[in-house]
Amino acid sequence: MEKQGVLNNKNIVGSSLVHKLAMFVVLFGFWMVLSGRTETKFIVYGLITALVTTWVTYPLLLVPNKDGSKQYFVFGVSIPKFIMYFFWLMWQLVLANIDVLLATTAQELDIDPKVVRFYFRADNPMASVVLANSITLTPGTVTINVTDDGLYEIHALTRGAAAGVLDGSMQKKVADLYGEKFDFAVAEGEE
């Protein structure tokens, strides 16, 4: 792989300068929250630390897509959209958690464990990561395998959880979040 300056890399989606600036601001904010001290000395330490951390880690936070034609910044996502998605996910988490709690503490276990499969393809690898993580985070469903061609194998604990994964609402949200086209299909052999 030929060595290439990150600033001159034309494959990066979005502006690398904006990414770096945002990262620097967030890291400095994190420093301020953790230190909580406002003397000049500590602020200067924080600025230097944030600068060096940004400079060292930015190239590591670029992920290429499948054919390597584009490089996506890991945190390159619209913040308001992401916060909306986060709160939606929280709400789903509460609903699903109550469902699983009732199923596992019922007098007779009300479970129907099985593996369900669906396809979800996205150019941005972070969309796959966020989808897989969201599915695992939602109680009653655990992502147990994701293949390169977009096949997701999900272990679902209850009937409701399996239906929830296969109805495609979460996949739609993730596709919208990353500005991808919605490419979702339930694998053959599933109802």
Instruction: Tell me, residue by residue from 58 to 97, as one string, x for binding to other proteins by CB under 8 A and - for no binding.
Output: --------------------------------x--xx--x
124: contact with other proteins by CB under 8 A = no
Which of 34, 56, 60, 79 lies at the binding interface for other proteins (CB under 8 A)?
Answer: 34
Token pair 């929280």 is found at 90
Q: Pick between residue 40 and residue 107 the one whose CB is nearest to other proteins.
A: 107
Q: Which amino acid is at 130?
A: V
Whole-number Å distance between alpha carbons of 102 and 158: 11
Which of 8, 38, 40, 107 lies at the binding interface for other proteins (CB under 8 A)?
Answer: 107
Q: Pick between residue 78 and residue 97 the one whose CB is nearest to other proteins.
A: 97
Q: Pick between residue 2 and residue 108 the one whose CB is nearest to other proteins.
A: 108
Shortest reach from residue 27's CB to other proteins, in Å: 13
Which of 3, 10, 36, 149 lies at the binding interface for other proteins (CB under 8 A)?
Answer: 36
Residues 157 and 117 sit within 8 Å (Cβ to Cβ) = no
133: contact with other proteins by CB under 8 A = yes
> Which residues form the interface with other proteins (CB under 8 A)?
30, 33-34, 36, 90, 93-94, 97, 100-101, 104-105, 107-115, 132-134, 136-145, 153, 155, 157
